[in-house]
């Protein structure tokens, strides 16, 4: 049924509209007559608010919350500490395996009285269990036999905000920053709490508040007080605060020069990590941070990368830099997340090899509270890349995976691109790092290398626009990131269905049609932007439209550097006869990627310069296959438009119109991608652009 009002998308997936199916509603009303939630911690108060609001909304009637009682048909939400009866019911052994964030949701019967219980060792587990419980009702799951055990596979599940203190967001497409720096710390925007609710609902437990291209001012007392105010809002939701820091922070602003970011907020002339004065500066600064934010999580550092300062300026290594900070943070339980996003295409024959070359020799040299944080691919969040080989090559260093939720290279907030299938492809990629079956996921979750700490980060796609993410469907990417960070074994399709049910309703036609649209949308985007392993052929700087012709300026941003089109063929030769980037992967991958016949076609032009008339597995020549992929991608967008139009009767009118307009723009821009790229490559292939039948 079409909703009677215009939905602005601001409630995300936490809508709690009354269950529309009468039979289901009756079932839920029967099962939940009251909420029994003992305890009084700030997190328990959050749980009470959320469950009262959620269950009352979904059941269409006010449900009371009690702190104690014996009524039948109640939902009990408690740790054994507050509900001693739980200790006697055989849950003890179960609780042992849950850690501090896991939970059990179970339908039980005691003395003939039916009850639903959410139990956990810690309030944070109860919080996650409560959101899961609400999700069950939102997605119309029966509760009478419910028996769920869940705990996260990865310890740190973070959002990385690339938000600047001037309110802008690097690669943000949903307005300005959520953080109202001018008004903090005295004024607390209600959206901070809603942000925390949304994050907690999908299991995110930490946030890096500011851009990795960090302004040193974030560490001034003035800004730290603002950060602390946000940390206070986030804490009851289980979200810890982290900051990106500028490696030159200890340096005096007097040393700032035009065009370089060396000037910091300190009084030193150096930020050499081995200099005792530098170490002392960080020691005092970290002490100040923890005085304001006692559960502060740690620092994210982009160093010696894209103009950001770092230890290499002083002849020191990444390990020297990371370890100095780690040593200072260690007494407080803080960590360092040191990014491996380094490159220098001007001097490297192949930019994508740089991170591996710089970091692998440092394996084993990092302190135990240092993560090396690497992007999923060796280049830069392209529509498709093979996995960053560093993941398999640093067995003694906890590797944190960085994914990008914001669609920097995938159509910003204009294109409907559901990213979970892409993340699953990376997570399931067999690195062979410990023999067959060494998926990237098994490295990230620590099972392969037995890491003491594990983590995953997603570059956020949030902004201050009413619907948070710009495109209504971009909300699904925030949601899916959190769900996969919690449990990477879930399927992209199941997560999509959950999100659809929670945001667009449980109508079977809506669920199946929207699910179909979403599931093919990433592959379609790859096809109309960079099929068959092409990469980095977008417009320079803006990273939205096509720019295959770009051949001036800096080497690292030249499209021609990456696609290498010539009269013979297309693609970057990274085989053993070329840059030999294939050698950075464990066997048998080098051999597989090296052979034209064995290289997966999705990576073909990533690893090979292929002749135009080379025949692919379809029997088509490279040129014909390229044409048909570009057309398949744009055709898919046309198909999504038709699918969406077919749902007009069943979707909220405001959401319907919003998505229809964006699909229209996507169709136009996908065709521009296709035509610009094919017409440009045709100058080299000399062959007609073959429209598929």
The piece of 29-37, 205-213, 236-244, 443-451 that touches ligand GCV (CB under 6 A) is 205-213
The piece of 210-218, 318-326, 486-494, 618-626 that touches ligand GCV (CB under 6 A) is 210-218
Among 170, 256, 348, 556, binds ligand GCV (CB under 6 A): 170
Minimum CB–partner distance for residue 548 and ligand GCV (Å): 18
Closest CA to 609 of 516, 534, 683: 534
The piece of 55-63, 121-129, 208-216, 486-494 that touches ligand GCV (CB under 6 A) is 208-216
Residue (8 or 170) nearer to ligand GCV, CB: 170
Residues near 229 by beta carbon (within 8 Å), at least 6 away in sequence: 184, 185, 186, 188
Residue (460 or 534) nearer to ligand GCV, CB: 460
Per-residue contact flags (x/-) with ligand GCV for residues 258 to 297, judged by CB under 6 A: ----------------------------------------
Q: Does 385 bind ligand GCV (CB under 6 A)?
A: no
Minimum CB–partner distance for residue 410 and ligand GCV (Å): 13
Residues near 232 by beta carbon (within 8 Å), at least 6 away in sequence: none
Q: Does 213 bind ligand GCV (CB under 6 A)?
A: yes
* Measured distance CA(111)–CA(113) in Å, rounded: 5
Q: Does 585 bind ligand GCV (CB under 6 A)?
A: no
Give the Å distances, CA to CA, from 639 to 95, 461, 492, 574, 587. Answer: 48, 26, 20, 36, 41
Minimum CB–partner distance for residue 23 and ligand GCV (Å): 50
The piece of 36-44, 206-214, 310-318, 515-523 that touches ligand GCV (CB under 6 A) is 206-214
Q: Are 203 and 482 in contact (CB under 8 A)?
A: yes
* Measured distance CA(551)–CA(529) in Å, rounded: 18
Among 122, 123, 163, 380, binds ligand GCV (CB under 6 A): 380
Closest CA to 205 of 241, 247, 151, 164: 241
**Token pair belonging to 166:** 């001037």
Q: Are 386 and 432 in contact (CB under 8 A)?
A: no
Minimum CB–partner distance for residue 304 and ligand GCV (Å): 12
Q: What are phi and psi of 112, to 5 degrees?
A: 80, -10
Minimum CB–partner distance for residue 339 and ligand GCV (Å): 7
* Measured distance CA(622)–CA(624) in Å, rounded: 6
Q: Could you say which of 183, 306, 551, 613 is catalytic?
A: 306
Q: What are phi and psi of 538, to 5 degrees?
A: -90, 170
Minimum CB–partner distance for residue 533 and ligand GCV (Å): 20
* Measured distance CA(604)–CA(613) in Å, rounded: 14
Residue (52 or 171) nearer to ligand GCV, CB: 171
Residue (49 or 170) nearer to ligand GCV, CB: 170
* Measured distance CA(223)–CA(201) in Å, rounded: 28
Q: What are phi and psi of 7, to 5 degrees?
A: -85, 120
How many residues touch ligand GCV (CB under 6 A)?
Answer: 10
Minimum CB–partner distance for residue 619 and ligand GCV (Å): 38
Minimum CB–partner distance for residue 381 and ligand GCV (Å): 7
Minimum CB–partner distance for residue 212 and ligand GCV (Å): 5
Q: Does 341 bind ligand GCV (CB under 6 A)?
A: yes
Residue (404 or 454) nearer to ligand GCV, CB: 404
The piece of 108-116, 211-219, 421-429, 478-486 that touches ligand GCV (CB under 6 A) is 211-219
Residue (374 or 496) nearer to ligand GCV, CB: 374
Minimum CB–partner distance for residue 681 and ligand GCV (Å): 24
Residue (376 or 467) nearer to ligand GCV, CB: 376
Angle between helices 492-504 and 123-138 (to 10 degrees): 70
Among 162, 623, 631, 644, binds ligand GCV (CB under 6 A): 162
Residue (170 or 189) nearer to ligand GCV, CB: 170
* Measured distance CA(68)–CA(619) in Å, rounded: 71
Give the Å distances, CA to CA, from 575 to 533, 585, 608, 684. Answer: 14, 12, 6, 22
The piece of 207-215, 290-298, 326-334, 576-584 that touches ligand GCV (CB under 6 A) is 207-215
Closest CA to 180 of 169, 190, 189, 168: 189
DSSP letter at 578 equals: T
Angle between helices 123-138 and 42-59 (to 10 degrees): 10
**Token pair belonging to 135:** 């999700």
Q: Does 558 bind ligand GCV (CB under 6 A)?
A: no
Closest CA to 646 of 525, 520, 512: 512
Give the Å distances, CA to CA, from 411 to 164, 405, 470, 538, 542. Answer: 22, 12, 12, 10, 11
Minimum CB–partner distance for residue 404 and ligand GCV (Å): 8
The DSSP line for 38-105 is ---SHHHHHHHHHHHHHHHHHHTS--EEESS---SSEEEEE-TTT-THHHHTT-HHHHHTTTTT-EEE
The piece of 173-181, 209-217, 437-445, 525-533 that touches ligand GCV (CB under 6 A) is 209-217
Minimum CB–partner distance for residue 259 and ligand GCV (Å): 17
Residue (372 or 492) nearer to ligand GCV, CB: 372
Around Cβ 313, how many Cβ atoms within 10 Å? 16
Pairing of strands 335-339, 610-611: unpaired
Q: Are 684 and 493 in contact (CB under 8 A)?
A: no
Known catalytic membership, residue 408: yes
* Measured distance CA(56)–CA(41) in Å, rounded: 22
Residue (244 or 467) nearer to ligand GCV, CB: 244
Among 240, 302, 424, 667, binds ligand GCV (CB under 6 A): 302
Known catalytic membership, residue 425: no
Closest CA to 371 of 398, 389, 395: 398
Residue (222 or 306) nearer to ligand GCV, CB: 306
Among 53, 171, 176, 614, binds ligand GCV (CB under 6 A): 171
Q: Could you say which of 122, 385, 408, 635 is catalytic?
A: 408
Q: Does 212 bind ligand GCV (CB under 6 A)?
A: yes
Residue (162 or 223) nearer to ligand GCV, CB: 162
Residue (215 or 575) nearer to ligand GCV, CB: 215
Minimum CB–partner distance for residue 345 and ligand GCV (Å): 12
Q: Could you say which of 380, 507, 573, 625 is catalytic?
A: 380
Q: Does 243 bind ligand GCV (CB under 6 A)?
A: no
* Measured distance CA(480)–CA(484) in Å, rounded: 6
Known catalytic membership, residue 306: yes
* Catalytic residue set: 306, 380, 408
Site for ligand GCV, rule CB under 6 A: 162, 170-171, 211-213, 302, 306, 341, 380
């Amino acid at each position: 049924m079409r909703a009677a009002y215009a939905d602005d998308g601001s409630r995300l997936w936490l809508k709690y509209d009354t269950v529309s199916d009468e039979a289901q509603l009756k079932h839920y009303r029967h099962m939940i007559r009251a909420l029994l939630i003992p305890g009084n911690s700030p997190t328990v108060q959050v749980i009470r608010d959320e469950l009262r609001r959620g269950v009352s909304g979904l059941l269409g009637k006010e449900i009371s919350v009690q702190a104690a009682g014996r009524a039948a048909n109640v939902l009990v939400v408690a740790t054994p500490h507050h509900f001693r009866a739980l200790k006697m019911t055989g849950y003890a052994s179960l609780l042992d395996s849950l850690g501090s964030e896991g939970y059990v949701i179970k339908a039980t019967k005691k003395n003939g009285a039916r009850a639903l219980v959410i139990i956990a060792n810690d309030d944070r587990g109860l919080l996650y269990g409560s959101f899961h419980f609400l999700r069950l009702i939102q997605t119309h799951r029966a509760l009478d036999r419910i028996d769920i055990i869940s705990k996260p596979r990865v310890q740190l599940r973070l959002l990385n905000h690339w938000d600047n203190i001037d309110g802008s967001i690097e690669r943000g497409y949903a307005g300005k920053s959520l953080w109202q720096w001018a008004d903090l710390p005295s004024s607390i925007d209600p959206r901070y709490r809603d942000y925390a609710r949304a994050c907690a609902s999908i299991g995110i437990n930490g946030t890096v508040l500011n851009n990795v291209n960090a302004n040193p001012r974030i560490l001034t007392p003035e800004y730290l007080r603002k950060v602390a105010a946000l940390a206070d809002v986030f804490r009851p939701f289980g979200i810890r605060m982290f900051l990106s820091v500028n490696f030159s922070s200890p340096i005096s602003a007097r040393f700032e020069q035009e065009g370089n970011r060396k000037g910091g907020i300190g009084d030193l002339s150096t930020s050499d990590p081995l200099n005792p004065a530098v170490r002392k500066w960080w020691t005092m600064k970290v002490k100040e941070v923890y005085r304001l934010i006692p559960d502060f999580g740690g620092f994210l550092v982009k160093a010696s990368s894209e103009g950001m300062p770092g230890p290499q300026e002083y002849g020191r290594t990444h390990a020297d830099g990371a370890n100095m900070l780690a040593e200072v943070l260690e007494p407080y339980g803080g960590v360092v997340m040191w990014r491996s996003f380094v490159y220098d295409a001007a001097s490297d024959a192949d930019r994508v090899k740089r991170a591996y070359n710089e970091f692998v020799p440092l394996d084993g040299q990092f302190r135990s509270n240092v993560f090396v944080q690497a992007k999923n691919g060796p280049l830069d969040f392209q529509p498709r890349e093979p996995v960053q080989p560093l993941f398999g090559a640093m067995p003694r260093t906890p590797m944190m995976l960085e994914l990008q939720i914001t669609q920097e290279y995938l159509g910003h907030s204009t294109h409907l691109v559901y990213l979970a299938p892409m993340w699953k492809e990376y997570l399931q990629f067999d690195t062979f790092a410990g023999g067959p079956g060494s998926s990237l996921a098994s490295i990230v979750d620590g099972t392969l290398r037995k890491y003491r700490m594990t983590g995953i980060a997603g570059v956020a796609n949030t902004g201050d626009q009413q619907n948070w993410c710009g495109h209504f469907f971009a909300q699904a990417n925030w949601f899916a990131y959190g769900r996969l960070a919690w449990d990477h074994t879930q399927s992209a399709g199941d997560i999509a269905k959950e999100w659809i049910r929670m945001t667009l309703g449980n109508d079977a036609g809506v669920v199946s049609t929207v699910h179909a649209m979403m599931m093919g949308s990433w592959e379609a985007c790859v096809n109309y932007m960079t099929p068959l392993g092409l990469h980095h052929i977008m417009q320079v700087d803006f990273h939205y439209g096509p720019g295959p012709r770009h051949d001036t300026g800096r080497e690292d941003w030249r499209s021609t550097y990456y696609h290498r089109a010539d009269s013979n063929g297309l693609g970057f030769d990274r085989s053993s006869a070329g840059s030999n980037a294939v050698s950075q992967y464990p066997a048998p991958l080098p051999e597989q990627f090296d052979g034209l016949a064995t290289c997966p076609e999705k990576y073909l032009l990533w690893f090979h310069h292929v002749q135009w008339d080379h025949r692919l597995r379809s029997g088509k020549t490279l040129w014909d296959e390229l044409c048909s992929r570009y057309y398949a991608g744009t055709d898919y967008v046309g198909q999504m438009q038709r699918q969406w139009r077919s749902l007009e009767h069943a979707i909220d009118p405001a959401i319907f119109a919003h998505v229809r307009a964006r699909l229209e723009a996507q169709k136009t821009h996908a065709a521009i991608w296709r035509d610009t790229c094919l017409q440009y490559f045709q100058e080299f292939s000399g062959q007609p652009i073959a429209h598929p039948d």
